[in-house]
Structure 1
Amino acid sequence: MSQKLQFAFKLEASQTDNKTSVIAITSITTEDDKKYTLSETDKYASRHIALTKTETYKRVRKSLNQRGQERTIWMTCTEEMIQAYFDEDNNLMFNDLYLKEEKKQTDIVESTQKKKGLLNLKNISERFMIEKFVCKFSNAKQWIEIFENECKRFEIEEDTTKIEILRLFLDKTCADWHSATLKTLKIEAGWSEWKNKFLDTFADKGWSSGMYAIFYKYKEGSLMEYAIRKEKLLLDMDENIGGKSLVTLIAAGLPEFIRNRIDPEKCETSTRLLHEISKCESLVNNKNFKIKKEEKDDNKKYSLGKKPCKTCQYLNKGNRYHPEQSCWFKKEGADNKRIGSNSVIEVNLSEETKNE
C-alpha cells in the first residue's frame, strides 16, 4: 500500500543571504492527521534530495515566485522518500532524527477567523504588503484603506486584532498616539472608532503634502531614486492620478538637460519613463556633477512666487531675492562702496536707457 505525506512549502529569505529566496518545508503531515516540524537546519527543501527529484516538487517550485507564498501538497512517497522519512515501524524521521509532533492545542493557526489560542501578530505583520505609516507625508485615508485590505487578505476580522496589528505599522510618533489612544478609547472600543480617530488625527487637512509631492525635484544623486520617490509621493497624494499627469509631474522635476534627452512619445506610462530615465543615469553619476546652489535657490524662490532684485540684476550681481528698497547696493549718493578692506566696487544707479 502506498504511503502519502502532506508537505507545507513556503518561499522565504535565506538565513545566510537575505536577498536570496529559498523554499522551506514548514510542516509534514501524515495520513492520520499528525503534523510534524523539522529543525531549522533541516527545513530547507534543498536538503531533501529524494523529495526534490519528484515531478510534484518541480511543479511546486514553479508555483512559488514571491516571498511569503505557500503551498500545501499531498505527495505519494517514492521508495527513496519512504527510506528518507520513515523508520521500520513507520515513525516519521529525517536524517535519522525523529521529527517533533505538533500538539493540536498549541498549533499556530494563521487564519485568525478559526484561531482561538495564541496569535502570532509579528509573523502575520511581516507578510503585510504595506509600509509603516509616517505622519509627516503619508496619505492617512489611502494608507488605512490599504491596511484594511491587507487585514481582509489574511482573514483578520476581529476588531481587537486589527487594533493590535495597527501599532506594528506606525512610526515612533504615531506609535505614541496609539499608546495614548489605548488609554482613552480602550481596545474594546471597536475598529470603527479607532479608524475615525486615526483619520481625525492624521488626515491631511491642508495643502502641504500635496504641494510637497508636486514640487519635489531632483537635486543630486541617482535619477532613478528621485523618479521612484516622486512617483510614490504622487500616488500617496492621489492613487487615482492619471497616467499622463503622473508622467508629466515626474518629468517636470528632472534637470532640464536630462528632460530634453527623453522623448515624451516613448513615455506613455511611468514604467516607460523610468526606463528612459535609467539610460541617463551615467550623466549624473560623475562625481563632479552638482546642481549649482544658485540654481537650487532660483527654483526654490520661483516656486514661492518671488522675483529677483532688479538692482542686483542690473549691476550683474546675480539673482538675489530681497526687497528692492532694502538692496545693499542701492544706497542714495553711494557711487563707491567698499567691500571688506581692499576691494572697491563702483555702483551705477542710473535708470535704464529707454528703447528709442
Structure 2
Amino acid sequence: MPTNKETSLLYVRIIKKTEKDFVIPYISIDKELWYLLPEDSRDLQFHPKLSSKKPIQNCISAIKNLNGYRTIAIRIDNDIILEYFDEEGNVCFNQLPLEEYVPSVGSQPGSSVQLELEDRIKRLECQLQSDFSKEEIKLHNIEKKFILDNFEKKQHDPIKWLRHFEDECNRFQITRNSLKIQALRFFVSGSSKDWYETNLTKIGLNAPWDLWKTSFCNVFVDKGWSIVREAFSFRYLGGSLIDYALSKVKLCLEAESKCTELSLINQVVFGLPSEAQEELDREDITNLDVMYAELRKLEDLFSRKRKEKPLSPKLLNKQNFSQSIKKNEPLKKIEPQQCPICESQGFPNRFHLPADCRFKNWRGERPKSNGPSHSTNLTDVEILNVDLGKQDLN
C-alpha cells in the first residue's frame, strides 16, 4: 500500500470512445509500471469513485476528439485504497490483482497510445489462436458432420454439388480459404482426387477460393450437348406420372437453369403419351403446381389400364383370343394338342402348333434311313436333326 509522497498518486489513462463513453485501459502508481484493467471493466461507469473526482471530471471535459486521451493523477485517499489496493498494497480491482505491463525500451511511459496498441495486439493474438483451435476442431469432424456425398462426375452436377459444399461450409462457419480447400479433400475421389492433388502443387493451399472454384468448373462442368439431349429426349415410358414429371423438370433445369416455367410445362407434356396429353387442358395449366395436380388425377386412370392389360397372345390361340376380347369373357386356358404333321411323319407325342412344325413344308414320305445313297429332298443337316429328335423322344 503506498505510504510515501512519491507513491501517493494514482495515474489514470482516460480515452474517449464515443461522445459519452470513456474508458480506463490501465492505471499506474509511478508511470513506469502499468496495470491493465480487465476488458469488461474498462468503462468509466464501472469506476464511480474515480468518476466523482474533480480531476477526472475536468479531464473528460478536456478531451474533444474521439480516441483522444489524457493521463491524469489522482491523490490516493481511503476510497482509492479500498477500490484499487488490497491489504498488502498490491494494485487490484474488485480484489483481483491486475496484470502488469512494462512499456518497451525507448518509449516514453504514458506519453502515447502504445500501451493500448500493444494490448490490442495481444488480445488479437489470443483471439486468433482461439479461432484457429476452433476451426481445427471443426475441420477434424467435418467429414462426419457435412451432409454431402463424395463428388462423382457421372452422378452429380458439378455446379450444384459445389454450391452445396459452400452452403455446408457456411453452416459450420468455415470461412477461411485454406480451411475450405482442406475440407474439400474429404469429398473427392477418383479423377477428382487427382485434380485436387494436382491443384495443391499448381495453385497451392493459400490460393483464393475463387481460383479453386474456377479450376473445378473448367475441369468437371460438361460443356457439350449430352445433358441437353438427355433432357429433351426424356419421355414417359411407364410408372408414376408425377415421378416422370419431377425427373423431367430436374433434367431441363440442369440443361438450362434459366428455363421459364412455361417451357418446363411444355417439355413435360411433350414427353407424355398422346392419350395423356389429350386429358390436359393447356389453358388451365398455368404453373407447375397445377400441372402436378392434373397429373395426379390421371394416375388412377393409367394404373387401371395397366391392370386391365391382357395376357400375351403367344400363350393363346389367335381365334379364341380375339373372340374372348370381343365377348368380354375371361380368357380360356388352351389345352395342349399333338401336332398332326409330326404324327404323320412318325413322331408322335409332339405338342406344338402346326404352324410352328418343322415338317409343315415337307413333301413325300418320311425318309427310312439317313444313308447318303437314299434319294430325298432333305439336306444332310435336316436328316441329322430329324434322327436326333426321334432319339430324344425314344
TM-score by length of 2: 0.39
TM-score by length of 1: 0.42
Higher RCO (C-alpha under 8 Å, 6+ residues apart): 1
Which is higher, the Rg of structure 1 or of structure 2? 2
Higher strand residue share: 1
Higher helix residue share: 2
